[in-house]
A = this chain, B = another copy of it.
Amino acid sequence: MSPERPRTNTSVDPVGDRLVALADDAVLGSTGYLLLKAGIHVGNEIEQAMRELGLSMRDLLVLSFVACLEGLSQQELSDRLALDPTLVVGLVDGLEERDLVRRAKDPDDRRRNMLVLTPAGERVRTDAIEAATAVQEEYLAPLTNEQRTVLRSMLFDVMAPRLPWLRPA
């Protein structure tokens, strides 16, 4: 198979053997481990794509939640991001400095900051969605459209009991 690899004194193919061995390992070849690695990889690639837009992946998630949930507070955002509230402060700070998000005091409870997208924020979000979608297109290229639908559906089924951050307010 591999012409440049010299034959050893063993009768089996060490390359093929070891590959099979690793992929068949109860841990390294498990669905859970593959899921973990896939998540890390796709996350890294989205992160990189966002960096080219001057954003982080977290920035994109903030823009997404703020766009989808009217009157979202930082507290609720921290729940949905599964991120410490003190980290949300910095995230919103950065987006507000770039005029992508605005903090508006909730008139019904003046402790809360109601987060809203600015027009510039809407535009950046559109670009970011396009970039993130392109990354995923390429990432899932080995699958047919039908397979991607099946994959997404299965992930939904698996995650359904663990999706509180996607639940309504």
Contacts and interface: CB of A to CB of B under 8 A. Distances in A.
Interface of A: 14-19, 21-23, 25-32, 34-43, 46, 60-61, 64-65, 67-69, 128-129, 132-133, 135-136, 139-140, 142-143, 147-148, 150-152, 154-163, 166-169
A130 B21 CA distance: 18
Given A18-B169, A159-B38, A147 B143 contact: no
Secondary structure at the A interface, as helix, strand, loop or mixed, is helix
A54 B132 CA distance: 39
A140 B35 CA distance: 11
B158 A139 contact: yes
A34 B159 contact: yes
Chain copies in the assembly?
A: 2
Given A19-B167, A32-B42, A39-B40, 9 more contacts: A22-B68, A22-B69, A22-B168, A23-B156, A28-B64, A28-B68, A29-B166, A35-B39, A35-B42
A31 B133 CA distance: 10
